[in-house]
Structure formats: structure tokens, C-alpha cells
Amino acid sequence: MIEVQNLTKTYGSGELEVKVLRSIDLKIDSGEFVAVTGPSGAGKSTLLYQLSLLDEPSSGEVFLDSIKTSELSQVQKTAMRLNMLGYVFQDYALLPELTALENVALLMLMQGHSREAAYKQAEGALARVGLSDRMHNLPSQLSGGQQQRVSIARAIAHHPTILFADEPTANLDSTNGHVVMQAFLDLHKNGQTIVMITHEDDYAKYAQRVINLKDGQIIEDSKVA
């Protein structure tokens, strides 16, 4: 599903060069729920950006579904993000002028679905995260936990092959954090491949596999019991 070979990411050059990722090799199978952990500055988010095609590695290769992503154009990458990948951002990243339903339906509209089909699919996704009764609310009318669940619904509504989540619980209290993690767990049980960044062990435990990064290198890659 995801294969990373000798992935390196460097910022700056010369004396100011900072190696954020150092020769990462990694393989994630279909249906896995992987948590990437590590202290601040370990390179967790940078790794996620490379895997999710939001950034380009300095060297090395990322294969998604056996596709060599370095050979894709920006337009092809955008299309791949639209059709294959799903994203959950730390700060929800919902469009404030769109209702929960509209936020979720947006990607399906972009895919070319009819308004009715997109809304129906969005309603289904919102129902899966327990927000059927809030679908016509604007983000400003929802709590942080509810907004993050809308964000999850948006990420899964178009049935992505891989779901990426960048510290999805960072802005939530403990109760809402566990609600969101439960949502991820439910998705995983239905076969969804998930790659999640977190720096909190409590939430990492929801995953079936934890990859621990430090100074841009994988120092531990273990299955959760």
C-alpha cells in the first residue's frame, strides 16, 4: 500500500542544512492502522507530508498503491489526493462558510458527483461519525470534537485508499480526543488504512502498529498488543 525507500528530507543548504528525515525505509500494508510518534522535531509531520504528497522528498522514493509518486505531475498528485487519499488536520481545517454537510460533500462534487449523490454520500459519512443531527450546522456552531469528527467525515466520505491524520486530537480535551480515536478505530475495523501522527501514547495505543521517530530516523517499529 505504502512503500518508502531511503527517504530523506533536507531543509536549507550548506551550513544551514537541516536533515529532518534520514534514510527512512518503511512499508505499510493495506488495512493497517499506524501511529507515528516521537518528540517534537522528530520529523513526524514531515514524514506525513511526504507520504501524503503534500511535499516532495529531497531524495528517496514514495510508492502509493505501487505508483511511483516522484514521476507524477502536480496535477496528477492533486488528482491522487482527491481520489485516493483522505486528510484529517490538527485544527480541523473546515471551511467556515460551509455547513458540516457541505464541507464533507465538497470533495465528491470535485470528483464530479451530482449534488444529490454528493450530499447522500456526505450524510452517510457524517452518520458514521455520529453527527447526523449536526449536518446543517456551520463549523462555528460546533464544538472542537464535533468539528474534528466533521473533518474525519470529510476525509472518509469519498472512500480514500489511505487516511492520513496529523495530530487529530491535539486541539481536543481528553473526552473528545477518545471519541475521535474511537471513530478512527471503527474505520480501521472496516478495513481503512490509517496513518496517524500523534505525540500522545494514550492515543497511539488505538493503533495496531506504532512507529517511533527520533531525529529523523525510525528508532522503533512495533505492533500494539
Residues that bind another protein (CB under 8 A): 49, 54-55, 78-79, 81-83, 85-87, 89, 93, 95-98, 102, 106-107, 109-112, 138, 154-155
Q: For residues 151 and 146, what is the distance between their CA atoms, to the nearest angstrom?
A: 9
Half-sphere CA count of 117, side-chain side, radius 13 A:
9
Cell of 123: 450524510
- Report, in Å, the least distance between residue 81 CB and another protein: 4
Contact predicate 156/186, CB 8 Å: no
- Report, in Å, the least distance between residue 55 CB and another protein: 5
C-alpha distances in Å from residue 170, one per residue of 46, 145, 166: 17, 11, 9
| Closer of 155 and 211 to another protein (Cβ) | 155
Half-sphere CA count of 97, side-chain side, radius 13 A:
0
| Closer of 210 and 216 to another protein (Cβ) | 216
| Closer of 34 and 104 to another protein (Cβ) | 104
- Report, in Å, the least distance between residue 98 CB and another protein: 6
Q: Where are the beta strands (DSSP E) in 65-187?
A: 67-68, 85-88, 162-166
- Report, in Å, the least distance between residue 176 CB and another protein: 21
DSSP state of 132: G
Q: What angle do CA 190, 173, 152 make, to 5 degrees?
A: 30
| Closer of 110 and 221 to another protein (Cβ) | 110
| Closer of 71 and 175 to another protein (Cβ) | 71
- Report, in Å, the least distance between residue 158 CB and another protein: 8
Q: For residues 73 and 201, what is the distance between their CA atoms, to the nearest angstrom?
A: 37
- Report, in Å, the least distance between residue 117 CB and another protein: 13
| Closer of 113 and 205 to another protein (Cβ) | 113
Contact predicate 130/154, CB 8 Å: no
